[in-house]
């Protein structure tokens, strides 16, 4: 795997252009390792195992699906990516978009992290709290590169789940998705957007 290409491509499959979002850690107090840190580490453990196993995009998808669903709040991420119009959508349209967004998210990881070349994911043991959210910093290190992946998590019941990933430390995936989804949503509505996302996911899975 080319670590620069693969890591930057994650979450950019649908992005028209990067949207910079400041990672809000300067005003928050660092904490000791907590369940939000463990959630990110647990996901990385499965991702690394999937990379080492190799196989097809579909086999990696099947391996990663439970881990992504456990670590990410996919319905909340879908709502954020759609934006203010989410509240007015029908239950059927919401479900179709959540299903499509979830498939795309899992497929992105399966496609982008397709093999193992000695990469190491290092999670900062000190999370950062701002309001009710936790922010977890991490890096992917290879022989030649170090790339930051920062995670925003909120509490869902007794679990902490990811609501956004900041590529290169500060590029919000959800801001990218909202920017890219807007034109299709405006011209064709939620059904057209779900169809588009599913078509792109099918391409990623071959």
Q: Look up the pTM and report it.
A: 0.83
Q: Are 3 and 147 in contact (CB under 8 A)?
A: yes
Distance of CA 9 to the CA centre of its chain: 12
Q: Phi/psi class of residue 184: alpha, beta or left (left: φ > 0; alpha: ψ in -120 to 50)? A: alpha
Q: What is the pLDDT of residue 15?
A: 34
- Is 167 within a domain? yes
- Is 86 within a domain? yes
- Is 35 within a domain? yes
Report, as an integer, the average pLDDT of 31-36: 68
- Is 187 within a domain? yes
The total of structural domains in the chain comes to 1
Q: What is the pLDDT of residue 1?
A: 53
- Is 205 within a domain? no
CATH label of the domain that carries residue 169: 3.10.450.710
Q: Is the pLDDT of residue 24 over 80?
A: no
Q: What is the pLDDT of residue 33?
A: 53
Q: How far apart are CA 95 and CA 18, in angstroms?
A: 27
Q: How far apart are CA 140 and CA 119, in angstroms?
A: 7
Q: Which long-range contacts (CB under 8 A, 24 or more apart) does 197-200 make?
A: 197/14, 197/97, 197/100, 197/101, 197/103, 197/104, 198/100, 198/103, 198/104, 200/13, 200/14, 200/104
Read off the pLDDT band of 29 (50, 70, 90): very low
Q: Are 149 and 159 in contact (CB under 8 A)?
A: no
> Rounded mean pLDDT of the chain?
86
Q: Is the pLDDT of residue 23 over 80?
A: no
Phi/psi at 197 (5° precision): -60, -45
Taking only the tens place, the pLDDT of each residue in 38-70 is 999 999 999 999 999 999 999 999 999 999 999
Q: Are 96 and 191 in contact (CB under 8 A)?
A: yes
- Is 206 within a domain? no
DSSP strand E in the chain: where? 29-30, 120-123, 128-130, 133-141, 146-156, 159-167, 171-172
- Is 16 within a domain? yes
Taking only the tens place, the pLDDT of each residue in 125-160 is 989 999 999 999 999 998 888 999 999 999 999 999
Q: How far apart are CA 60 and CA 46, in angstroms?
A: 10
Q: What is the pLDDT of residue 25?
A: 38
DSSP strand E in 50-145: where? 120-123, 128-130, 133-141
Residue 16: domain span: 3-200
């Amino acid at each position: 795997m080319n670590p620069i290409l693969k890591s930057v491509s994650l979450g950019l499959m649908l992005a028209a252009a990067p949207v910079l979002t400041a990672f809000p850690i300067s005003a928050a107090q660092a904490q000791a390792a907590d369940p939000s840190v463990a959630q990110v580490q647990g996901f990385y453990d499965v991702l690394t195992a999937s990379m080492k196993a190799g196989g097809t995009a579909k086999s990696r998808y099947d391996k990663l699906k439970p881990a992504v669903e456990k670590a990410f709040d996919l319905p909340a991420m879908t709502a954020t990516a759609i934006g203010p119009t989410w509240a007015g959508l029908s239950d059927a349209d919401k479900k179709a978009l959540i299903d499509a967004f979830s498939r795309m998210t899992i497929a992105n990881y399966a496609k982008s992290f397709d093999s193992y070349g000695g990469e190491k994911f290092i999670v900062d043991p000190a999370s950062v709290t701002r309001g009710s959210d936790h922010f977890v910093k991490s890096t992917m290190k290879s022989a030649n590169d170090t790339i930051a992946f920062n995670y925003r998590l909120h509490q869902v019941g007794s679990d902490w789940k990811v609501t956004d990933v900041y590529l290169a430390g500060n590029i919000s995936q959800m801001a990218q998705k909202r920017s890219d989804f807007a034109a299709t949503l405006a011209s064709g509505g939620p059904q057209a957007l779900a169809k588009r996302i599913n078509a792109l996911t099918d391409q990623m899975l071959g």
